[in-house]
Structure 1
Amino acid sequence: MRDGLPRASASENLRLAGTLFASGFVRGTFILSGPGCALTDRLDTQRRAHELLTELIRRYGGRPVLARGPGGPTLLPLSREDVTRVLAESDDVYAVSTKDKRAAVSPFLGGSLLVSTGAMRPVRRAYVGSVLEHAAHQLDLGRIAEEEARAVRGLVDYDRLEQVWQRVARRCVFGSGARDDTELTALLRRLRRDANWLGLNPRATLRQRVLSRRHDARVRDHLTRAEPGSLAAILAACPGPPEVNLIRQAAFWLMGMSVTVTGLIQTLALLAAHPAHCTRAAEDTGYLRACLMEGLRLWAPVPMLARVTTRETSWYGHELPAGTSVVVPVGALQRHPALPYADRFCPEAWPVPAADDSCPAAAGAAPAPDEPWIAPFSRGQGQCKGMEIALQTGTAFLAQILATRQPEAVASPLRPPGPLPRTLNPLRLRVALHPRR
């Protein structure tokens, strides 16, 4: 151990590359890859990553480990205190906009909060926060989710659920006039697929630049309508500062809502495999919201939270230079062995709001304060600003399904008893929805 900061050995770096860093790339960073998910599922990469991180915690006493990541020296915080420091400290120090992220999505999301750096980030963050706060009080996006969820019946898999959910996403962001604009979603899907290369494929980057012009044009047309009841209407009523590119910010919201479908299919499959939880969730939307958070905890759609230091930072007497990568492996840490419910479906671990709680913000399910590594939507200044919209619409969507349908697991790997699998391929989940009697 040098200067109190342990360094991963050559063999540990090799294992980290295969189980943590490479698996995320293969699975798909911005959109799931079918072959990639099948491969990581077959290799059980999350289990291997969890076992390795547990070894590192035991070997180095829980101190952060300096490893060799894809972009150079990478710090892995592994304790409550160190994870809290990274996620809670200002993003002026631990920047959310990493080099890989900017290379991946700047061609179509440049000017949005996601890739903001320097003095522009607090301006954009304040504006986006204000718009979403207005939306939480003025829009009934849950109604949109309920209306579309009525079409979900029969045998449901990821692809079928995504088709319906994309209609929810388009209506929430742009209004009913965008409901059937499947071309917009197709363009975004192609842009996200090329983003999976993280800027390493020049042909993919060039293709993004070409496609982004068509994508921008469609988003602009929908924003111009400013349809009442949509986020586009809130944007029109709250003109942003010149630092905010409204077209790209709206595109980012659409992409962010698209990711929610992974949590929805996982939660639906969990409820199908746990009938007692399903019965309670069908009667209590607060409990159903906690079930959705559990579905996100058990298999995080974003298994690694990446940051980069903007200035020299001191860790246990060791000075890390500016530009050092910091990766919080939440996908593994959310199944930390210190959690008594690590490998169980345990909605009770989340605070359930009172039935008469009418404040959307107060109704938000949140992990216990002493579990900072449970962060499905990140934490601190890097927390997803659209978290409340995702939870509100996602819960309403599932509630409508459960109101009229009883889910049944089909060849499910999630049936109790026994611990839930560490690695899960959501693209292969199947749930049969039967009419309630």
Structure 2
Amino acid sequence: MAVASRLDTGKAFARVLLPTLAKGVIVRRPPVLAMAEKVQADALAVRTMKALRDKYGPEPLRLRVTGRSVALVLDPEDVGRLLDETPEPFHPATAEKRAALKHFQPHGSLATRGPEREKRRRFNDVVLRPEKLDVEAVVRDEADLLVRHAMSTGVLTWDDFAQVWWKVARRIVLGASARDDEALTDDLKTLRGNANWAFLHPKRRGLRKRFERRLREHLERAEPNSLASLAPASEVASQAPHWLFAFDAAGIVTMRALAIGGSGPAGVLESARLWPTTPVILRESTIATRWHGTWLPENTLFIVFSPYFHRFYGDTYRPELWPTQEPALVPFSGGPGVCPGRDLVLVSAGTMLDTLRAHLDFSTLEPPFPATLNHFALKLRATRKGDDGLEVV
């Protein structure tokens, strides 16, 4: 198995990993994302990954990192192996991920290992089922307000969309009484911003206690047609912060899907293929593992840069790709560690797309689509069926 030169290790960090971290893994940083779009940072990252594969071959490429065994995954079949063999011997709760999530959700399934992880994962699998709620009714109710707003102003901005999307998220997770509790999700956003720094930012325990206290008040109401009504508040409390966190990514995917003419679940999946909201998938080996004749030590960090693999399938809107069994086409991860809320996101985001498109026309970005797209700057001209227009400012 090849080991990257110091120069190529530097390129992998400077062009692929550090720009991804700078944009914000837990919550996006608008100024950095704007700059990344200007220079098309992801295009450079994809070219760098391709150059590394051309030079070193398809096997995982070991990077020269002092004190840490790190391998960059370059082949789709190896992506499939990592995800299929989760959580043993390739665990999603890497040291880096645990450090980030401890800022706002230390007891989530993604941050735990062993029997406790299995218990929490089963809980998520059971609760996060769209058929247990009337998700479509919640989304259509809020989308109606968004349609009327866009008709009156003639535009749909990210800020307009996000405000309504968070109302949807709070209603689905916590119930109708939480619909307008922006303070709750603002506190969560601050904690997530701290989580972007993982080990490097001190814990804000007072803020987290305030967030958790406010969250528990909503959960104890257990309002009908909400995830909070499906289990005791004590069980939901440890997982709900991540559910709300995930709805942020789902909103980004939905707005981008509008900009490319997407509709329904396939439109959501294509948006997440073109611009993955989880651009880096991490796994950490719990034992020494054999790769193409070479043994890698326990605690090796495996890195999957999903934009590289996703762009194998082109830079245009291709809803015919779904469903797919391609091992490296992983907008919701894959294998036993696949996102348990995948179907819930597809239903809620797909319903939002279809409801908006039932009343409004939006023009689309022209293909080939850019490698980096700043959703904060999207401004869609919205009209009753007939006109078009898209402006990115």
TM-score class normalised by the smaller sequence? over 0.9
After superposition, residues 355-370 of structure 1 pair within 5 angstroms as 366-367=323-324, 369=325
Distance 1:261 1:51 in 2: 28
Distance 1:229 1:158 in 2: 27
Distance 1:382 1:24 in 2: 22
Q: Is the 8 A contact 1:114 1:252 kept in 2?
A: no
Residue 46 of structure 1 deviates from its aligned partner by: 0.9
Distance 2:377 2:66 in 1: 29
Q: 2:134 aligns with which of 120, 134, 140?
A: 140
1:223 aligns with 2:223: no
1:123 aligns with 2:113: no
Q: 1:31 aligns with which of 27, 38, 52?
A: 27
Which residue number in structure 1 is paired with residue 316 of structure 2?
344
What stretches of structure 1 move > 6 A for 4+ residues in a row? none
Q: 1:434 aligns with which of 374, 383, 386?
A: 383
TM-score calculated relative to the size of structure 1: 0.83
Q: Deviations over 1:331-352 (max 9, x none)?
A: 221002xx3xx111111222xx
Q: Deviations over 1:131-155 (max 9, x none)?
A: 224xx33211121111111122131
Q: Is the 8 A contact 1:143 1:396 kept in 2?
A: no
Which residue number in structure 2 is paired with residue 311 of structure 1?
287
Aligned residues: 380
Distance 2:178 2:335 in 1: 33
Distance 2:81 2:182 in 1: 42
Which residue number in structure 2 is paired with residue 359 of structure 1?
none
1:372 aligns with 2:344: no
User: 2:140 corresponds to which letter in structure 1?
Assistant: E
When residues 73 and 44 of structure 1 are mapped into structure 2, their CA distance, relative to the original with a 3 A threshold, is: farther
User: 1:400 corresponds to which letter in structure 2?
Assistant: T
Distance 2:302 2:116 in 1: 22
Q: Is the 8 A contact 2:267 2:350 kept in 1?
A: no
Gaps of 5+ in 1: 272-277, 282-287, 351-365
Q: Is the 8 A contact 2:69 2:299 kept in 1?
A: no
Q: Deviations over 1:177-198 (max 9, x none)?
A: 1001111111111111111111
Q: Percent identity?
A: 32
Residue 108 of structure 1 deviates from its aligned partner by: 2.1
1:415 aligns with 2:391: no
When residues 68 and 215 of structure 1 are mapped into structure 2, their CA distance, relative to the original with a 3 A threshold, is: farther
Residue 69 of structure 1 deviates from its aligned partner by: 5.7
User: 1:172 corresponds to which letter in structure 2?
Assistant: I
Q: 1:297 aligns with which of 250, 273, 276?
A: 273
Which residue number in structure 1 is paired with residue 245 of structure 2?
255
User: 2:181 corresponds to which letter in structure 1?
Assistant: D
Q: 2:340 aligns with which of 359, 363, 385?
A: 385
Q: Is the 8 A contact 2:142 2:167 kept in 1?
A: yes
- Matched residue of 1:381: which SS? helix
Q: Is the 8 A contact 1:149 1:400 kept in 2?
A: yes
Which residue number in structure 1 is paired with residue 236 of structure 2?
246
TM-score calculated relative to the size of structure 2: 0.93
Q: Is the 8 A contact 2:86 2:92 kept in 1?
A: no
Distance 2:164 2:9 in 1: 42
Which residue number in structure 2 is paired with residue 234 of structure 1?
230
Which residue number in structure 2 is paired with residue 330 of structure 1?
306
Residue 124 of structure 1 deviates from its aligned partner by: 1.2
User: 2:251 corresponds to which letter in structure 1?
Assistant: V
User: 1:398 corresponds to which letter in structure 2?
Assistant: L
Residue 157 of structure 1 deviates from its aligned partner by: 2.1
Which residue number in structure 1 is paired with residue 355 of structure 2?
400
- Matched residue of 1:40: which SS? helix
Distance 1:99 1:68 in 2: 18
After superposition, residues 278-289 of structure 1 pair within 5 angstroms as 281=263, 288-289=264-265
Distance 1:106 1:155 in 2: 39
Q: 2:6 aligns with which of 3, 10, 22?
A: 10
After superposition, residues 176-187 of structure 1 pair within 5 angstroms as 176-187=176-187
User: 1:180 corresponds to which letter in structure 2?
Assistant: D
Q: Is the 8 A contact 1:408 1:434 kept in 2?
A: no
Distance 2:21 2:48 in 1: 18
Residue 317 of structure 1 deviates from its aligned partner by: 2.1
